[in-house]
């Protein structure tokens, strides 16, 4: 018959072995052995994309390194934790994911104030737009709706969008009645203002197929989305006009953040806000230059600049979108003035 009672001597031996292992880890890493908190980071972007490889993964690695061994971050690209990107904000709110990369156009109403980025001519670059967005968040001017359960780690802008279509567009008459896709209500209002037919509810990964099947005649995007989602392979006519940008964020479940040890929170804070905005913006703008330059080598592609007369006509139509946003948004003029000032400051 076996004796199942634990030997006091066995406890001592196991304890000494555990201490030795901890000491060995400390000697190898130069850091004290500690229990790690593992955070789940969900994103809709595929792993090969520069957004994942050069921004989100880089940010995560910096946080891990600065946490002094208190944090690990598990990355889930391409919807492997939550296939529908429209659910990623709720996943962070509910704690299903600890951190989520969110496209605000997929979750209308979450941060209505951020739709100012979608206004025509709103921002000259991803870097400037992201720094201005960060200032708005930090000033409490973009509180959002139902965002109490999350902490905003990064507020971003894409680079300015342009109009990409199956057929060449040179005038307002050319675009009249065309079915154009926009991400978010403000971009859809822009499409309506220029006399085209707004089409929503199509995510970026669905764009190329929607164009191929004739469900849409064109889309408002920047060069990153046009390239990584295969849109530029289908639609090869580009009208160079700044039709606004798209707001994005990285958010974290607030309860999870609050539960972390001080060292872990400090690592997250150090790499969030302006630091995250600069990482995003500089990488995004570099990718825009790379993708646009490559596209310009394609002789089957057309790039169109509006004539002076047409530019004035388009500007008049687009101004109605800005005026309506100010009128329909609580404290719209105050927000518009503050954001314009933030853009000017970030452009210095």
**Residue ranges per structural domain of the chain:** 34-160+246-287, 162-244+300-330
What pLDDT is stored for residue 119 in this prediction? Answer: 97
Instruction: Please give the average pLDDT of every successive group of 10 residues along the chain, which has 348 residues.
Output: 39 39 41 72 93 97 97 96 95 98 90 96 97 98 96 98 98 98 88 97 92 98 92 97 96 98 98 98 97 96 97 98 97 98 97
Give me the pLDDT at residue 34, please.
55
Give the orientation angle of helix 332-346 with respect to helix 308-328, to 10 degrees: 130
Element (H, E) at 173: helix 172-175
Residues of 82-95 as b/e, b for ≥16 C-beta within 10 angstroms?
beebbbbbbbbbee
Q: Residue 43 in 3-state DSSP? A: coil
Q: How far apart are CA 55 and CA 60, in angstroms?
A: 9
Best CA proximity match to 219, nearest among 202, 290, 298:
202
The whole model's pTM is what? Answer: 0.86
Contact (Cβ atoms closer than 8 angstroms) between residue 74 and residue 40: yes
- Check whether domain 162-244+300-330 has CATH 3.50.50.60, yes or no: no
Q: Which CATH architecture has domain 34-160+246-287?
A: 3-Layer(aba) Sandwich (3.40)
pLDDT tens column, 140-173: 999 999 999 999 999 999 999 999 999 999 999 9
pLDDT computed for residue 8 by the predictor: 40
* pLDDT of the residue at 204: 84
Average pLDDT for the chain: 91
The 10s digit of each residue's pLDDT in 48-78 is 989 999 999 999 999 999 999 999 999 999 9
């Amino acid at each position: 018959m076996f004796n199942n009672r634990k030997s006091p001597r066995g406890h001592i031996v196991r304890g000494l072995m555990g201490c030795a292992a901890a000491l060995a880890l400390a000697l190898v890493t130069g850091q004290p052995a500690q229990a790690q908190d593992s955070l789940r980071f969900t994103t809709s972007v595929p792993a090969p994309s520069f957004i994942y490889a050069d921004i989100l993964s880089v940010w995560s690695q910096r946080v891990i390194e600065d946490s002094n061994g208190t944090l690990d971050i598990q990355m889930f690209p391409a919807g492997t934790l939550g296939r529908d990107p429209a659910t990623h904000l709720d996943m962070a709110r509910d704690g299903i994911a600890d951190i989520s990369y969110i496209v605000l156009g997929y979750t209308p109403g979450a941060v209505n104030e951020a739709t100012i980025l979608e206004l025509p001519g709103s921002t000259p670059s991803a870097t400037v737009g992201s720094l201005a967005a960060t200032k708005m968040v930090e000033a409490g001017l973009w509180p959002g709706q139902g965002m109490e359960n999350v902490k905003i780690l990064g507020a971003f802008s894409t680079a300015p969008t342009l109009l990409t279509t199956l057929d060449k567009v040179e005038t307002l008459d050319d675009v009249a009645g065309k079915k154009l896709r926009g991400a978010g209500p403000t971009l859809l209002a822009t499409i309506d203002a220029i006399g085209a037919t707004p089409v929503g509810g199509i995510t970026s990964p669905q764009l190329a197929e929607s164009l191929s099947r004739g469900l849409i005649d064109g889309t408002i995007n920047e060069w990153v989305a046009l390239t990584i989602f295969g849109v530029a392979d289908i639609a090869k006519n580009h009208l160079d006009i700044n039709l606004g940008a798209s707001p994005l964020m990285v958010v974290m479940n607030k309860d999870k953040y609050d539960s972390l040890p001080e060292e872990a929170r400090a690592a997250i804070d150090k790499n969030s806000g302006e630091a995250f905005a600069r990482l995003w913006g500089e990488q995004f703008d570099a990718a825009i230059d790379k993708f646009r330059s490559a596209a310009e080598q394609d002789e089957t592609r057309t790039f169109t600049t509006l004539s002076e007369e047409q530019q004035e006509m388009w500007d008049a139509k687009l101004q109605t979108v800005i005026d309506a946003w100010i009128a329909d948004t609580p404290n719209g003029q105050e927000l518009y003035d503050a954001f314009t000032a933030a853009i000017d400051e970030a452009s210095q």
